[in-house]
């Protein structure tokens, strides 16, 4: 029982740590983005300096955004794993006696005990994934990538601005769609594992 309690506390601490890391990484990216926009405001006064500056800074900012997004998805997966572990421990707590069935009832627990899916997915996978913290950063980073494509097409390749903007919109949409499927692929495996684990603990089909 001492080991179970310790593991429960460790998992709770892990959830807090992952949430803190997610906030820190998102803040770091937003800070880098705002600093870049301020620097671009000064560089735009010189047409000779603006294009080389943007060509150097935007790819680096976009790469930072990609790395941030990938790590935020990993953090979400780690948090889900911790919740699955806590649910497993609470299922053991319920075997300690009649009173334990009341105090550690599955209906009063958190995901994956209380519901068949994560609370964020109750309105469907599309809404759940689109409103995640990682998707917010991915949306901003997609705009950064699209802006880089527009500037490249217009200033370096001589493409008309209307065509360049259209290419940028397509690029942003493609990046968001790619991230959506990546995030769903990374997290859906854990959700299925949690649902199967709950089904086996309750005697249901796996």
Query: Can you list the residues of the chain whose pLDDT is less than 50?
Result: 202-206
Tokens matching residue 81: 């794993």
Sequence length of the chain is: 206
Mean pLDDT of the chain: 83
Q: What is the pLDDT at residue 125?
A: 64
Q: How far apart are CA 103 and CA 26, in angstroms?
A: 37
Q: How far apart are CA 59 and CA 79, in angstroms?
A: 30
**Is this model's pTM higher than 0.85 or not?**
no
Q: How far apart are CA 60 and CA 41, in angstroms?
A: 18
Q: What is the pLDDT at residue 117?
A: 52
Q: Encode pLDDT of 12-65 as tens digits.
A: 999 999 989 999 999 999 999 999 989 888 888 877 778 788 888 999 999 999
Q: How far apart are CA 129 and CA 134, in angstroms?
A: 9
Q: Write b or e for each residue in 103-119: b if 16 or more Cβ atoms lie within 10 A of its Cβ, otherwise e.
A: ebebeebebbbebeebe
Q: What is the pLDDT at residue 206?
A: 31
């Amino acid at each position: 029982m001492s080991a179970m309690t310790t593991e429960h506390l460790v998992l709770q601490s892990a959830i807090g740590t992952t949430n803190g890391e997610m906030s820190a990484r998102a803040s770091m990216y937003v800070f880098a983005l705002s600093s870049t926009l301020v620097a671009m405001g000064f560089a735009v006064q010189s047409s000779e300096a603006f294009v080389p500056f943007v060509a150097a800074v935007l790819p680096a900012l976009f790469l930072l955004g990609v790395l941030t997004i990938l790590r935020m998805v990993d953090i979400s997966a780690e948090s889900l794993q911790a919740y699955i572990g806590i649910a497993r421990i609470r299922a053991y707590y319920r075997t300690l006696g009649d009173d334990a069935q009341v105090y550690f009832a599955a209906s009063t627990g958190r995901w994956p005990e209380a519901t068949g899916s994560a609370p964020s997915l109750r309105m469907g996978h599309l809404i759940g994934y689109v409103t995640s913290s990682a998707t917010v950063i991915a949306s901003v980073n997609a705009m950064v990538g699209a802006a880089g494509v527009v500037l490249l097409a217009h200033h370096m390749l001589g493409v008309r601005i209307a065509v360049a903007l259209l290419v940028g919109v397509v690029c942003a949409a493609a990046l968001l769609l790619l991230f959506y499927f990546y995030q769903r692929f990374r997290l859906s495996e854990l959700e299925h594992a949690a649902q199967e684990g709950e089904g086996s603990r309750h005697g249901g089909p796996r």
